[in-house]
Amino acid sequence: MAKIKYQFNPNTLSFDIIRIPFYKRLAKILIHLGFYLAIFIVLGYGFSIFVDTPIEQGLKRTNSEYLLKYELTTKQLNELNVLLAQMELRDNNIYRSIFETDSIPLSIRRGGYGGAEKYASLMGNSNSPMIIKTYKMLDEISWRSYIQSRSFDEVAEMAKNKERMIECVPAIQPISVKNLVRISDFYGYRKDPMNKVRTMHHGIDFAGPIGTPVYSTGDGIILEAGYSFSGYGNQVVVDHGFGYKTRYAHLHKVNVKIGDKVKRAEMVGTLGNSGKSTGPHLHYEVMIRNSSVNPLNYFNDMTEEDYESMLKNYSSEFMD
């Protein structure tokens, strides 16, 4: 039952009922509600600052778990990077060196996985730098793994052909030990005998009598055979495969033609004095991927008997 308020009336010497207008009662109610609501909001805000809600606590736990997983993933990616770098180093310095093939440059191993625009869609939030860094690491590892896989495929193929490669690599003198008079000029810089200017000599000169047999130093296919107007005179160039080529220049006679297949110790011509030459000799070059190298590094230490035995073995194979 609602309380009734009275007020003493001195004129009538009685108590009159106090009647409060509705709008005043409503205003009073609203003021109380506003006051209590303000207190509730202030207390709620303060509570939310110092005490996490169950939803916030769950989100923070989830974020902590994700951050821990990210750190573990980053650690594993860094370890994978180190292992991949070691693998690349062994590949360039050991595996590819064994087969005397070019190492893969860093520009190829590290390039080719996309530019900055590739990650533009990942921008726009507070975690963008972390996400982009991870994507870049993954893309780089994927590209490097692809290049390394291709390199291993190439090395594996060369390993399968190792026996064939041994037969093709230029590994003997082009002139029999018995017929060798002397080496008149070596690989490297020298004073040109014609114009007296210091120039690079890309091969070795074997002096000897005209008509001395000249032999292919490895299995291969004749790439050039005939007269060269660049100073080599009568010459033969053999493509041995695996990046190797050999040149036999200043010949007196050429015994092969372009496209012929030759075996190691097969005669390709005879020593002569053609072209830019000051006396009878054979100019012999070894090239790897079209760059000359010192032929002395490819000579086996063979005695005269060993060399003659090799020639006889080739002759018997040819006759068979």
Residue 64: the pLDDT is 83
**Shared domain check, 179 and 277:** yes
Q: What angle do CA 225, 158, 289 make, to 5 degrees?
A: 40
Instruction: Examine residue 220 and state whether it is found in any structural domain, yes or no.
Output: yes
Instruction: Examine residue 72 and state whether it is found in any structural domain, yes or no.
Output: no
**Shared domain check, 219 and 102:** no
**Shared domain check, 189 and 151:** no
Q: What 8-state DSSP symbol labels residue 103? A: P
The DSSP bridge partners found for residue 271 are: 251
Q: 149-203: per-residue pLDDT in tens?
A: 998 888 888 777 777 888 898 988 999 878 777 888 889 998 887 777 888 999 9
Q: What 8-state DSSP symbol labels residue 59? A: H
pTM attached to this predicted model = 0.57
Residue 265: is it exposed, middle or buried by C-beta count within 10 angstroms (0-12/13-18/19+)? buried
Residue 166: the pLDDT is 84
Least confident of 51-65, 181-195, 298-312: 298-312
Residue 247: the pLDDT is 97
Instruction: Examine residue 56 and state whether it is found in any structural domain, yes or no.
Output: no
Instruction: Examine residue 75 and state whether it is found in any structural domain, yes or no.
Output: no
Instruction: Examine residue 61 and state whether it is found in any structural domain, yes or no.
Output: no
CA distance 213 to 318: 17
Residue 23: the pLDDT is 78
**Shared domain check, 174 and 153:** no
**Shared domain check, 182 and 220:** yes
Q: 188-208: per-residue pLDDT in tens?
A: 998 887 777 888 999 999 999
Domain that holds residue 40: 6-49
Residue 234: the pLDDT is 97
Instruction: Examine residue 193 and state whether it is found in any structural domain, yes or no.
Output: yes
**Shared domain check, 315 and 185:** yes
**Shared domain check, 256 and 190:** yes
185-220: string of b/e by CB count within 10 Å (b at 16+)? eebeeeeeeeeeeeeebbbbbbbbeeebbbbbbbbb
Q: In the chain, how many domains are there? A: 3
CA distance 236 to 225: 5
**Shared domain check, 189 and 251:** yes
Q: What percent of the chain has pLDDT over 90?
A: 28
Residue 263: the pLDDT is 94
Domain boundary among 98, 125, 160: 160
DSSP states along 67-97? HHHHHHHHHHHHHHHHHHHHHHHHIIIIIHH
Contact indicator for 264, 236 with CB cutoff of 8 Å? no
**Shared domain check, 179 and 137:** no
What separation, in Å, do the N-terminal and C-terminal C-alpha atoms of the chain show?
133
Q: What percent of the chain has pLDDT over 70?
A: 89
Domain boundary among 110, 136, 160: 160
Query: In Å, how far are 216, 234, 247 from 263, measured between CA atoms?
Result: 7, 20, 15
Instruction: Examine residue 146 and state whether it is found in any structural domain, yes or no.
Output: yes
Contact indicator for 318, 267 with CB cutoff of 8 Å? no
Those residues whose C-beta lies under 8 Å from the C-beta of residue 204, and which sit 6 or more positions away, are 183, 185, 186, 187, 283, 284, 295, 296
Instruction: Examine residue 36 and state whether it is found in any structural domain, yes or no.
Output: yes
- Most confident residue range from 112-126, 168-182, 243-257: 243-257
Least confident of 71-75, 89-93, 172-176, 191-195: 191-195
Residue 285: the pLDDT is 96
Q: What 8-state DSSP symbol labels residue 118? A: G
**Shared domain check, 129 and 24:** no
Contact indicator for 142, 158 with CB cutoff of 8 Å? no
Helix, strand, coil tally for the chain in percent (to 5)? 45, 25, 30
Average pLDDT over residues 266-280: 93
Report helix angle 54-90 to 128-160, nearest 10: 30
Q: pLDDT at residue 286 above 50?
A: yes
Average pLDDT over residues 232-252: 95
Instruction: Identify the CATH number of the domain in which residue 203 sits.
Output: 2.70.70.10
In this structure, which amino acid lies at residue 264? R
In this structure, which amino acid lies at residue 111? G
Around Cβ 308, how many Cβ atoms within 10 Å? 14
Q: 320 falls in which pLDDT band (50, 70, 90)?
A: very low
**Shared domain check, 266 and 219:** yes
Average pLDDT over residues 212-231: 94
Q: pLDDT at residue 241 above 80?
A: yes
Residue 312: the pLDDT is 67
**Shared domain check, 286 and 199:** yes
